[in-house]
Structures are given as structure tokens and as C-alpha cells.
Amino acid sequence: MKKVRTIALAAALLAGAAVHAQEALRPEVGKPLQAAQELIKAGKYREALAKVRDADAVGSKNANESFMIERMRIAAASGAGDVDTAARSFEALAASGRVSGADKARMAESIAGGYYRAKDYAKAMQWGQRYFKEGGTSASIRTLLIQSQYLSGDYAGAARELTAEIQAAEKGGVTPAQDRLNLLLNAATQLKDPSSTVFALERLVTYYPRKEYWVDLLSRMQRKPGFSDRLVLDTYRLSLATGSMTAAPDFMEMGQLALQAGHALEAKQVVDKGFASGILGQGPEGERHKRLRDLVAKKIDEAKAARADDEKEALAAKDGNGLVAVGFARAMGGESAKGIALMQQGIAKGGLKRPEDAKLHLGVAQVMAGDAKAQATLRSVGGADGTADLARLWSLYARRKS
């Protein structure tokens, strides 16, 4: 395919030369150029270059003869893979003022491709940029430019190009290509650029979700300065929802934290999932896992007995903290509609100790219930201690889930 493309480009350049050949050339120049043209058509590019050199050796050439020699030279050199010669001819032709923008773009495309095939990525990058400067729009040359930037070590340049391309795709309602997102992730990793890394990861979990991406994204979020320890359970919830929680200690800790938060039914769901998947109940910690399962069952019975009183007390309170807590426990225990209604009532009542947490939990409950209002709720979450970060990731998960 590379050979076919090279021949096609050389033929296009040769066609351009034929247009300008209408002006008279002296025989000593015109004959070798005619021979070069026939050799190019036959695919004998190096022989054609020799004929061009014969024409160039003629003395006292006028401007048109010099132009035609360079035009034929670039066609032959492009076919022969002599990229440096083609590049020099391009500069001579561009300086003549007689080459159209479309022709210059075509020439720059050929030269960029030649340098790329020769693995001279720095020059391929330079000529890829020149192609776009001349008005080129080819997506394949955009790919060549980005790959050349990456392979030449210009990770910052590659990241800029990729980010712009991905943003343009999203703006146009097109799903960014997975290879582009992965290349951006690799470039950002080389640069140690957290912002670009998260940008790439967020789009990967949105369009091409894999648990490895979620693990990385959640880990980065938790390592951010100021991330609050009180959000560990909320982080586990997202890890469980995305299928990225696979270790027994994580299932155990999540189950215990859910119990401590008064979410016995949620703890049961966590423990049951751990046992059903074979992650819990095995190995030297198997008995400990079973003791947690027994404790969860006991706490569920206690919670059932106290549930009516808890709700009554929350309704009577002057603030909405109790209603939010009771409602979230209900929602995470499987009673989505009732739980969400209580949470909304509590938020409306006001006087909340942690209003951003309340909105985050309402959004999570709505996501789990498939409520279309979840995105609006999650977008409203603020806070610099991790609540806004979690809300954004839940929003990405909800978008993919829907």
C-alpha cells in the first residue's frame, strides 16, 4: 500500500509538471525532462532522477526551465524515496511563487510520508506541520504528525495535537478513537502531566471502560492533596459499581465501613457479592469473612427494629441531616424511591452539616436507581475535599451506564 501511495503521489506531481510544460523549453532541457517523465510513468524513479540531473547540467537556464527541472525532480525523488532531494526541490518551487497551495500541500504530504517511512521522525513532524500550514486537511497526515511527535520524543506536542483532536471529535458528537486516547495517555505519562492523564483516563472510562482505567483514575483521585478520609466508603461504592474492586481486603473494608455508617443492607450486598464471586470465603482469611457475614445479618435485624423510630426522629428534627442519612441508607439498601424522596426532603429542610456530601449521596442514589435527574444533581456538587471529584466520576459512570 505504501508503494501504491508513493506512485500515486509521484503521478500527481508529474501531472502538475505537465501543466506547466506548455511553455517552451530548449531541446537540451526539454528532451531529458521528457525522458524523465516517461521513466516516472514506468516507475523507474532513480533513472528519472539521472535524466533530471542531465537537464539541470545545462547552462544559462531561464526561470521556467529551472522551475520545470525542480518540478520533475520532486516527482522523481518522491517515487525514489530520496526525501532530502524532494525537500530541497520543494523549497525551490515554493520560492518561485508559481505553485498553488494545493500543489504545495501535496508535495509536503509526500515529503512527510517519505521521512516517516525512513524513521526520521523529527523531519516527518516538521513536514507534517508544513502540510497543514499549506492548507492540507488529511486525517492520515494528522495521524502521521502526531505519531512523529510522539516517536521523536515531542510528547508535549503530541499531547496538544491529540487533546485538540479529541475535543473537536466530542464537540462534533463523534466518539474519539481509542488508539488516540491511549496515545494521549502514554504521552501524558511520559510528561508526568496529571491533568492530561486524567483527561485521557476520563474519556477512556466513558467510551471504552475497563477496570484498569477505573483503578488508575480512582487511585489518582484519592492521592490528590486534601482528599478526605470520610469519602473512602463513597470511593469503594464507585469501585464496586464499575467492577474494579477485586481484592478481598477491599470487600471486607467496604462491608465494615458500610456497617459503621448504618448501612447494614448495603453491607450485605457487598459481602454477598464477595462470596458469590469467590473473592470472600476462601483462603486463610475465609473464617474471618464468614464472621463478617454473620455480623452483617445481625445488624440487619437490629436496623429493621429501629427503622421506624429512626425515620420518625428524622422527620421531627429541625434540620435535614437525619432525613438525608436515613434516606441514603434506604436507597443503598434497595428502596430507591423511598430513600431518594427522604433525601430530597432532608436537603429541602436545610441545616445540613455537609450539604455537598448530601448532594453527592443523592446523586449516587439516583444513579443506582437509573433516575434521569442524577446528572443534574451530580453537576451541582462542589467542594475541594474530594466531593466534587467523586461527583464527576459518578457522572462519567452514569453516562456510560445509561
The enclosing domain of 328 has a CATH number of: 1.25.40
The pLDDT value given to residue 19 = 43
**pLDDT mean over 342-361:** 97
Instruction: Say whether both 187 and 319 belong to one domain.
Output: no
Long-range contacts of 100-103 (CB under 8 A, 24+ apart): 101/134, 101/135, 102/135, 103/13, 103/16
Instruction: Say whether both 191 and 91 belong to one domain.
Output: no
- Print the domain residue range for 373: 229-401
% the chain with pLDDT above 70: 94
pLDDT over threshold 80, residue 164:
yes
236 and 250 Cβ atoms separated by less than 8 Å = yes
CA distances for 300 relative to 265, 280, 304, 388, angstroms: 6, 20, 6, 31
Instruction: Say whether both 359 and 249 belong to one domain.
Output: yes
Please state, in angstroms and rounded to a whole number, the distance separating the CA atoms of residues 317 and 9: 79
Full-model pTM: 0.79
Instruction: Say whether both 108 and 196 belong to one domain.
Output: no
The pLDDT value given to residue 1 = 40
Q: Which residues contact 216 (CB under 8 A, 6 or more apart)?
A: 201
Let me know the angle formed at the C-alpha of 377 by 371 and 378, rounded to the nearest 5 degrees: 105
pLDDT over threshold 70, residue 360:
yes
Residue 223 is assigned to a structural domain of this protein: no
Confidence of residue 303 (pLDDT cuts 50, 70, 90): confident
Residue 47 is assigned to a structural domain of this protein: yes
Q: Note the pLDDT tens digit of each residue in 66-90.
A: 999 999 999 999 889 899 999 999 9
The pLDDT value given to residue 12 = 54
- Min mean pLDDT across 107-111, 287-291, 322-326 is at 107-111
Q: How many domains does the chain have?
A: 3
The pLDDT value given to residue 72 = 92
Cell 473537536 -> residue? 168
